[in-house]
Structure 1
Amino acid sequence: MTSRAFKTLRTLAAILILLCVLIPLSMMVTLSLNPSEENIQISMGTIHAFIPQTVSLQNYKEVLQDPYQPFVRYLLNTLLVVFCTVGAGIFINSAAAFALAWGQGGYRKIYLMVIIAVFVIPGEALTIPLLLLVGKLGWIDSYQVQIVPFIASTFSIFLFYQFFSKLPQELIEAARIDGARLFQIYFRIAFPLSAPVVATISILGFLDAWNSYLWPLMVTRGTEFRPLGVAMAAFFGTQQAYWGNIMAFAVLMTLPIIIVFLIFQKHFVASVVGSGVKG
Structure 2
Amino acid sequence: MAAITQDNHGLRLAVRYVVLTLIAVIFIFPLLFMVMSSFKPDLQLLRDTSSLRAFLPVGDLSLDNYYDAFRRAPIGLFVFNSVLVTGVTVLLSLFFCSLAAFSFVYLNWKGRDLALTIIIATLIIPFETIAIPLLLFVSKLPWIGLEGIEFGWLDSYHVQIIPWIADGLTVFLFVQYFKDLPSELIEASRVEGASWWQIYRKVVMPLAGPVIATAAILKFLVMYNQYLWPLIVVQQETYRPVLVGLQYFFQLSITWGEIMAYLTIITVPVLAFYLVLQRAFIASIASTGVKG
TM-score above 0.5? yes
The residue matched to 1:33 in structure 2 has which SS? Answer: coil
Amino acid at match of 1:84: V
Q: In the aligned structure 2, how far is the partner of 1:177 from the partner of 1:269?
A: 32
The residue matched to 2:185 in structure 1 has which SS? Answer: helix
Q: In the aligned structure 2, how far is the partner of 1:55 from the partner of 1:78?
A: 29
Q: Hey, what does 1:212 align to over in structure 2? A: 226
Aligned pair partner of 1:49 in 49, 54, 60: 54
How far is the alpha carbon of 1:44 from its aligned partner? 3.0
Amino acid at match of 1:253: I
| 1:113-163 Cα distance to aligned partner (Å, 9 max, x none) | 111222222222221221111122211121111100000011111111111
Output the aligned Cα RMSD.
Answer: 2.4
The residue matched to 2:215 in structure 1 has which SS? Answer: helix
Aligned pair partner of 1:23 in 23, 29, 46: 29
Q: In the aligned structure 1, how far is the partner of 2:165 from the partner of 2:179?
A: 22
The residue matched to 1:241 in structure 2 has which SS? Answer: coil
Q: In the aligned structure 1, how far is the partner of 2:282 from the partner of 2:206?
A: 18
Count of aligned pairs: 273
Q: Hey, what does 2:90 align to over in structure 1? A: 86
Q: Is 1:33 matched up with 2:47?
A: no
| 1:86-128 Cα distance to aligned partner (Å, 9 max, x none) | 0111001001100111112233212211112222222222212
Q: Hey, what does 2:4 align to over in structure 1? A: none
Q: Hey, what does 2:124 align to over in structure 1? A: 120
Aligned pair partner of 2:68 in 62, 70, 92: 62
Q: Does structure 2 retain, via aligned residues, the 8 Å contact 1:239–1:246?
A: no
- Identity of counterpart residues, as a percentage? 40
TM-score (norm 1): 0.89
The residue matched to 2:239 in structure 1 has which SS? Answer: coil
Q: Does structure 2 retain, via aligned residues, the 8 Å contact 1:163–1:276?
A: no
Name structure 2 gaps, 5 residues minimum: 1-7, 142-151
Name structure 1 gaps, 5 residues minimum: none
Q: In the aligned structure 1, how far is the partner of 2:66 from the partner of 2:252?
A: 14
The residue matched to 1:202 in structure 2 has which SS? Answer: helix
Q: In the aligned structure 1, how far is the partner of 2:181 from the partner of 2:20?
A: 35
The residue matched to 1:165 in structure 2 has which SS? Answer: helix
Q: In the aligned structure 1, how far is the partner of 2:282 from the partner of 2:129?
A: 32
Q: Hey, what does 1:238 align to over in structure 2? A: 251
TM-score (norm 2): 0.85
Q: Is 1:201 matched up with 2:201?
A: no
Q: Hey, what does 1:169 align to over in structure 2? A: 183
How far is the alpha carbon of 1:30 from its aligned partner? 1.0
Cα–Cα, structure 1 residues 107 and 182, in superposed 2: closer, same or farther, change >3 Å? farther
The residue matched to 2:180 in structure 1 has which SS? Answer: coil
Aligned pair partner of 1:145 in 159, 176, 201: 159
| 1:22-69 Cα distance to aligned partner (Å, 9 max, x none) | 2221111111112x3332233232222211124322222222233xx2
